[in-house]
Structure 1
Amino acid sequence: MTIERLGLRDRKRIETRQRLEACAVELVLRDGIENATIDAISELADVSPRTFFNYFDCKEDAILGVRDVEITDEHVAAHIAEHAEADAIESIVRLILTMIGTSVGEHEVRAQRLELVVRYPQLMSRRFTHMTRVAQHLTSAATAILATDDRFADAEPATVDIILTICGSAVRVAVMELAAAHGEPDIEQLQQRATGLVREVVQKLQ
């Protein structure tokens, strides 16, 4: 359902949330995460701090655009089609990186959030906390992705969970390494490094 087809009240809620998210990202990019307080974000978004808490539990959630978004079958199918040339491990790593960038949003917003995660690694903890909340959706998505790979076509739930855990840990390490090196956020670089780490670990375990 598009915003245009929603009722006025729902449209205003969506617009307010999007404005708060945009203002949070803008403030952190401009003034740093320490100065991007809830009061400052609310003031820039022209709402009260009380209204802020109707949408987010903390400023980190606004910065990251955290929301409980269902990963639908259509989303998974589109992801698989977009990365048809990638193997299952690489595809899962890309899915996790997409979620770290933002749950939903335009490409520019995803890039900005990824930049902030690299600049402020402490945001990773909040993002992974949210990913734990949507673990069931992630597991279903990973199962569908693995089903496209003959090696994992009949993967048991425990196998899927282990692969997800390894891929998530590899992404975390890749982001932390980039942050330590003060590098520019590059989704391809992060994907290659995280995927390489997974394969390196698997090879050593054999």
Structure 2
Amino acid sequence: MAFFGVFRWFILTLVLMLAISTLGVAGHFTHLFHRSGGYIPLEGLALATAALTVLTLPIMLLSDLIARRAFFSRVNWDLLWLFVLWALWLSSAALATHNRLDRFSGSCRFLAFSGSTICRELRAIEGLSYASWILLMLYTFAVFVSAITSHSRGHRGVWQSASRGLPYTSEFDGRQRGNVATTAPTTGAPPMTQTQPVV
């Protein structure tokens, strides 16, 4: 597997583990907060973002094993869906920060029970959301830069290609095999091939 394929697996697997952790913490946070009689929008957003990540990232990872040009492993899908995911993670992180500073800046003693647990879990959701956002954002930028570089090198179908093969050099590289190279034909002359010694 190429370097970018290993990099993709590492980042997406790490984000998946963070999302599973966030899903558990956010679920317990929602449970405790409802028992205390309160509600904040962070509960739904954090749960939905973590659930979407847990549902879609395994499909993206397994599609690499099924087929090289599977839809869920293409560059255009990675750019689109991971941008949506990191925007959702950023929103969750920002909302968690806002709630921590606005409503939970003290010692959380005003809650009827489990105040300290709710505060700790809010900080955990905040940290996990920021970590997921940063990882997905860096990976998305890496895919975008590599795709632009591959496109400028002559690979016109890079957007439909598999992300794990980035960066591509040229769409014509696959036509050069072994020690035979095709030279450009002159006007009115058939294409010539010449044998070059293997170094």
Question: TM-score, structure 2 length as denominator?
Answer: 0.27
The structure with the largest alpha-carbon Rg is 2
Higher relative contact order (CA 8 A, sep 6+): 2
Q: Considering fraction of residues, name the structure with more helix.
A: 1
